[in-house]
Structure 1
Amino acid sequence: MKIRKDIDLLPSYSANEFQADIILDANESAFNIPLSLQNIIADLIKNYTFNRYPPINAFNLRTTIAKRYNLTANEVQVGNGSSSLIANVCQLFAGSENKILYPAPSFSMYETYIRLAQCTPVAYPLTENFDLDIPALIKKIELEQPNLVIICNPNNPTGNLSKPEQLELLLQNTSCPILIDEAYIEFSCNKSMTAYLEHYPQLIILRTFSKAYALANLRLGYILGNSNFIELLNKIILPYPVSGLNLAIGNCVFENLILYQAQIQTIITERNRVNEALQQFGFTTIKSATNFIFFYGASAQQMQSLATTLAQAKIAIRNFTNNATLKHGIRLTIGTPNENTQVLQLIKQYTVQEGR
């Protein structure tokens, strides 16, 4: 079979699939969508026209999203999960002569999407504490002259946040397109860059319904940018990229975001509780603006032993203990209060038994 020569070199995306009793590895919401919203969606499904193609331009959902950010529908597009939109953006700059800068360590799929677009991937390192070094990044952009720069804010898998004023400094000193992936921004206490869209035409913002809005199963995301950029993006997005039912559910969700406030606040409160407990147990945590916590210990052996203990207890976590760049750490999604208590009790028992 003759295929592209570079495809064999691409890593496959992997996710933990062992049978866990407590699932804290994929950064999904700890809660289903609010019950009152479930009832609205149930009524919608009863009367849904399944035999017709979905609206090709997703105008209703794009308009609803646009209103929230004081934009027009022409400055919004939706996709089959935010990941598909990242891939689409990279395709806009396809060609081996083009460069795309991406953060490291960060979301593992950035490099894959860049390579699929046959662009040259150029990693820029985060600091020792996984923060953006804005002056260094500005110099890197000046040196490499990339066609696109990707920023993950808050960063995954470490959870830390760059403040808007830091990112504005980058926008003020660069002219190339800047794609900011804000998949977890709802957990950051309103540190989004959406208010800066009208001032910086090179700014592109990516968002998802999968995390704070508890729709990971639906695969729905959206992107915000100036109308010229969205018009170009539309040229490469395949027809009917999102099912009509998903569009309708997404519209219901966006019209009822207030229903999510309580559970988002619960996740933030639980995140703070889990973070404090992990520090008391002797682990180092990265200050998180997401629905997960990244933490590490004194050695790779210690963290691998803890990861094994959690797996034996049928608790799914994201294990980076073989990754020195990520300090052999563990990423722990914030679960329900009861799940978090069970996990913390187990970690406490582990530290006591290990004499830590």
Structure 2
Amino acid sequence: MKPLNQLIRQNILSLKPYSSARDEYTGGEAIFLDANENPFNSPYNRYPDPYQRELKEKIARIKGIAAEYLFLGNGSDEAIDIAFRAFCEPGKDNVVAIDPTYGMYLVAADINNIETRKVKLTDDFDLDTDGLLQACDQNTKLLFICSPNNPTGNSFKKEDIVKIIEGFQGIVVLDEAYIDFVPEKSFVHELTRYPNVIILQTFSKAWGMAGIRLGMAFASPEIIQIFNKIKYPYNVNVLTQKKALELLQTEQDMSDWVKVILSEKSKMKERLDGYSFVQKIYPSDANYLLVKTDNAKGIYNYLVNEGVVIRDRSTVTLCEGCLRITIGSEQENQCLYQGLDKYMADN
């Protein structure tokens, strides 16, 4: 890895961040006359903790890592955007990403005027490690890997990820949005060995909190400090912080939900195998299945008319003819099967 000060944009290194009233006072209860807040309608009249200290301490205990390694944002997308703004000089630097993968990396790159160099996965959806490293040059600042990958659903071999981390001079962004559905351990506990890694996780999937928009980034304290310089002062609102603290008290619920989802995934795979229009069901380590069919668009449209919405991924690289189906509840999955039964009967 290059020294961090050679990777960070120079204007960010010299940036003096906005100092809010809640930055300057971090004590307990007090009479707050410092932030021009309305004295009525407590507790929503007060600005939230800009660094989400209580929430971070709770998450850090669950994840088994010190809180200074943690950044919280408005979904993982905020952390993705901040990574571009921290490390990539618009119109000059570039990033490398696997293809296919989560589309927000490319969108964030385009917004920030950063070139994206895509490297296709193999036909088996494995990493082309040599191709990824060869795509990099002196202006490549970020390299994106999503594992388990979206939309393919598979995890990548740890030794391949390590090869990329050790062979790349910039920052590897490892998106672990679906890590709770796999038995493999997160790379979070490898951060002391690999200071050039940013790990993304989310509460939107296994934790069932997509509606409150809370994402996590784990990285060295030095990178987290840079993220905190760039973020807007109150990026995680008080309602999200309170609700997350409440929902994190029921950690066992998340574990139970994951077991149900994995069980339903096995049932869905078995059921889908029985349809003649299904050509292949790809191995999945996530809470969805990528399914190759003989008429992806037609099946998608038919199900929409039946009130069941899945995702047509047939225009995505290496996913021709493919549908991505999220694992729902048993009742929701039965509605899917009923729709597919009617489609097969009509076709």
TM category, shorter: 0.7 to 0.9
Matches within 5 A, 1:172-187: 172-187=166-181
Asked whether 1:297 is paired with 2:299, we answer: no
Query: Given the superposition, is the C-alpha separation of residues 108 and 239 from structure 1 closer, same or farther in structure 2, using an over 3 Å criterion?
Result: same
Asked whether 1:107 is paired with 2:102, we answer: yes
SS in 1 for 2:155: coil
Alignment match, 1:86: 80
Alignment match, 2:198: 204
The answer on whether the counterparts of 2:119 and 2:128 sit within 8 Å (CA) in structure 1 is no
Alignment match, 1:288: 284
Q: Name the CA distance, whole Å, in 1 between partners of 2:172 and 2:161.
A: 10
Alignment match, 2:12: none
Match of 1:346 among 336, 339, 342: 339
Query: Given the superposition, is the C-alpha separation of residues 283 and 339 from structure 1 closer, same or farther in structure 2, using an over 3 Å criterion?
Result: farther
Matches within 5 A, 1:162-311: 162-281=156-275, 282-298=278-294, 302-311=295-304
The answer on whether the counterparts of 1:101 and 1:149 sit within 8 Å (CA) in structure 2 is yes
Q: Name the CA distance, whole Å, in 1 between partners of 2:274 and 2:224.
A: 48
The answer on whether the counterparts of 1:164 and 1:191 sit within 8 Å (CA) in structure 2 is no
The residue type equivalent to 1:60 in the other structure is: E
SS in 2 for 1:55: coil
Query: Given the superposition, is the C-alpha separation of residues 70 and 87 from structure 1 closer, same or farther in structure 2, using an over 3 Å criterion?
Result: same
The residue type equivalent to 2:311 in the other structure is: R
The answer on whether the counterparts of 1:197 and 1:203 sit within 8 Å (CA) in structure 2 is yes
The residue type equivalent to 2:253 in the other structure is: L
The residue type equivalent to 2:113 in the other structure is: Q
Normalised by the size of structure 2, how large is the TM-score?
Answer: 0.82
Aligned residues: 304
SS in 2 for 1:256: helix
Match of 2:321 among 314, 322, 328: 328
SS in 1 for 2:118: strand
Kindly indicate whether structure 1 or structure 2 has the higher relative contact order, using CA contacts under 8 Å at least 6 residues apart: 1
Match of 1:126 among 121, 129, 136: 121
**Range moving further from structure 2, 250-259 or 103-112:** 250-259
Shift of 1:68: 3.0
SS in 2 for 1:283: strand
SS in 2 for 1:280: coil
Alignment match, 1:29: none
SS in 1 for 2:135: helix
Shift of 1:164: 2.7
Shift of 1:126: 1.4
Q: Percent identity?
A: 28
The residue type equivalent to 2:286 in the other structure is: T
Q: Name the CA distance, whole Å, in 2 between partners of 1:324 and 1:100.
A: 18
The residue type equivalent to 1:176 in the other structure is: G
Shift of 1:150: 0.9
Shift of 1:244: 1.5
Q: Name the CA distance, whole Å, in 1 between partners of 2:330 and 2:312.
A: 22
Shift of 1:94: 3.2
Please report the RMSD computed on the Cα atoms of aligned residues, expressed in angstroms. 2.0
Uncovered stretches (5+) of structure 2, i.e. residues with no partner = 1-40
SS in 1 for 2:259: helix
The answer on whether the counterparts of 1:93 and 1:117 sit within 8 Å (CA) in structure 2 is no
Asked whether 1:63 is paired with 2:57, we answer: yes
Q: Name the CA distance, whole Å, in 2 between partners of 1:343 and 1:104.
A: 29
The answer on whether the counterparts of 2:203 and 2:214 sit within 8 Å (CA) in structure 1 is yes
Q: Name the CA distance, whole Å, in 2 between partners of 1:195 and 1:72.
A: 10
The residue type equivalent to 1:294 in the other structure is: L
Uncovered stretches (5+) of structure 1, i.e. residues with no partner = 1-46
Q: Name the CA distance, whole Å, in 2 between partners of 1:247 and 1:182.
A: 22
